[in-house]
Structure 1
Amino acid sequence: MEDHPSYPKLSELISKYPRTAGSLFQTYNDLALAQQWEDLEVLDLPSCSRGSFRGRRPKTNDLLYVVPCSLSESLSISWFHQAFEDLGKPPHVYLAINSDDSNIVYYKLSPGIVKPPI
């Protein structure tokens, strides 16, 4: 991992939160290299003990937030509330769930109860 070109951008949070280093590294590389997000920033979520990301999909202006986690982690409603608080209460956050086989599934989370679009 240390030899990868993206490591310097993540090294501070990888050493600060080693338990979530794999999902942070995997999600960053998916967003930056595969999906080619623009203006991708690495953020610290100290109350959730992990890093997260803010950026834009290609050719869009919407600022999006992504919080990586592992499929094996147990998360709570209070954890989600704290993530929204730490990120400045955005309208929604994408939870990037990483599995051991390198798959990532993104779930769009919104605070409260939100009626789905028709």
Structure 2
Amino acid sequence: MENHPTYKDLAPICQKYPRAAGCFFQAYNDILFSQQWEDVQIIDVEATKRGVITGRKPNTEKSLTVVPCALAESLSTSWLRSIFDNLAPSPEEIYLAITSEDSSIVYYKISKGIVKPPI
């Protein structure tokens, strides 16, 4: 990981939160290279002990927020709430980038509050 070209941008977050470094590195590179998002930025969210990724999908104007986490992690609703509470401005939705050891990533959309599904 340390030899990858993107590591110099990710090093401050990876070194500060080593338990989340692998999933953060994997999600960041997927968003940047595979999905080719634009305006990709890293935000340090100390309350969640990890970095968060923001950016825009190609040819869109809406900024999205991605929270990398590992498949083996236990998540709670209070932890998810702290993500919304510690981002300014607080997004209406976030995407959990759940990574596994085989390098696969699944993105889950988490909305703030109770949201009625579209019909």
1:29-63 Cα offsets, whole Å, 9 max, x none, are: 00000000000001101000000111000000001
Residue of structure 2 in register with 1:25 after alignment: 25
Q: Secondary structure of 2:79's partner?
A: helix
| Residue identity matched to 1:9 | D
Which stretches of structure 1, 4 residues or longer, exceed 4 Å deviation after superposition?
none
Q: Secondary structure of 1:94's partner?
A: strand
Work out the CA distance in 1 between the residues paired with 2:86 and 2:103: 27
Work out the CA distance in 2 between the residues paired with 1:87 and 1:31: 20
Work out the CA distance in 2 between the residues paired with 1:77 and 1:91: 15
**1:50 has 2:56 as partner:** no
Work out the CA distance in 1 between the residues paired with 2:6 and 2:29: 7
Pairwise CA distance, 1:87 = 1.6
**1:98 has 2:99 as partner:** yes
Pairwise CA distance, 1:111 = 1.2
TM-score normalised by length of structure 2: 0.97
Question: What pairs with 1:29-40 in structure 2 (closer than 5 Å)?
Answer: 29-40=29-40
Between 58-67 and 79-88, report the one with greater CA deviation.
Answer: 79-88
Residue of structure 2 in register with 1:71 after alignment: 71
Identity value in percent: 54
Q: C-alpha root-mean-square deviation of aligned residues, in Å?
A: 0.6
| Residue identity matched to 1:12 | P
| Residue identity matched to 1:24 | F
Pairwise CA distance, 1:112 = 1.3
Unpaired segments of 5 or more residues in structure 2? none
TM-score normalised by length of structure 1: 0.98
Unpaired segments of 5 or more residues in structure 1? none
Aligned residues: 118
